[in-house]
Structure 1
Amino acid sequence: MKSYALIPVGTALVLTLLTACGHSGGDHATPASANADIHANEQLGTTWGDEIRSPSKHVSVTYLSDDPIDQNVVRYAAKAFTGKTLNSVSLHHGKVNLSFTDDNGNTLPITRENSDYYLSATEGQKYTLRYTNTSDNTYAIIASVDGLNVITGERASVHGSSYILNPHATLLIEGFRKNDSAVASFTFGKPEHSYANHSDRGSIDNTGVIGTAIYEVRLDDESAPKFAPPPNSKPNTQPQAFPADK
């Protein structure tokens, strides 16, 4: 399946591999519903923040499967979650790691309870999605924030627009994409102030979730001719029925 994806341009978004490693944290026996029970005063969404320079370009890719090879959801709120403390979420058997950083590049701790993931957030805090690729493969990353595709602002789908994560590289997604050169920074805020609540394609009901879908892809050969070349001057010869076999 062929498609077009965005690939970040420049060191601002494509960095040398830096694998986030989980650190030891205590497991706590808590009710399964304790973390999922988020009170109204703890709920947060993501607002349309300051403009950040973020150059990108469109590339043609071929998806190697019809469906994602892995998916993940992280819930966030102004709440102290309980469980195992992580630096990153391991995706696709550890070949891709997802972590979150603040404006100063500090890693925000993630909490895991069973197979669920949570992020303790603070109103007004800016954040970045950080994906690292530890493999030789190329991946398409479809990311959603509050139920919206971070590139198009459309209602999120696992078949939506994607970023390219190159082998042994890092992809930083700092905000909702405004155009090919800038994004509006992700900033935690009240759900009523969220971009999802102020977009015709969003809903306040979807605030507080960050989604990821991963595909393995092959970059198409963009150097191949896209149009018929101009005619060349050739000697007059007999027509050939199977010229490629000569």
Structure 2
Amino acid sequence: MSASRTVLVVEDDPVINQAVADRLEAEGYAVVRAWDGPGAVAAEAEHHPDLVLLDVMLPGYDGHEVCRRIQAARPVPVLMLTARADEADVLVGLGVGADDYLTKPFRMRELVARIAALLRRVDRAAELAARQPERALELGDLRIDGPAHRVWRGGEEVRLTPTEFDLLLCLAATPGAVVSRDRLLAEVWGWDGGTGTRTVDSHVKGLRAKVGADLVRTVHGVGYALEVPA
């Protein structure tokens, strides 16, 4: 899979930037590099990478602003690198369109695994959308248009990130039924082995903030269920 995929590495630390680029090239990826916010946006526009590895703290403007700008231009999976595991900081990143995050310091093997998983998620999302009915799905006052990637709640359109949309689609496939975190990781992210449940929880929080806390029910120790709204 990696031979045909391009990764944009955005990191202002030259040592980390070089080390990551060397490892990804050894794994068979094509690598484009940038060291600041404006350079990252320009590189993405020029090279159209399959994935962006994006540090939060950058000169020019930070990773959140870079993510916001590139996602406004076209949807692309983004793995953010952060020096803090603070939940509020993570939610900001997810809110501007990041798909996942990795806390520094990280192991190269985990970084490579996360990148591969995100690229699998893109492929899985296409499969998931293809299984949706051609007409919009309506559950109470919730309306989901799978092919158009649009959602409405109570007649008002809700802007979701690509991952939030895929998560909602997965839950909506079986309304009222509990979907385990492991299954969500496999269906939405393409991850196996049950690691990464915090990623699911963070995205669910972002989804709830946009569509309404009443829509997604937590079953502690198991997973989540989509409640059919009135």
Normalising by structure 1, we get a TM-score of 0.23
Tell me: higher relative CO, structure 1 or 2? Use CA pairs within 8 A at least 6 residues apart.
Answer: 1
Normalising by structure 2, we get a TM-score of 0.24
More helix by share: 2
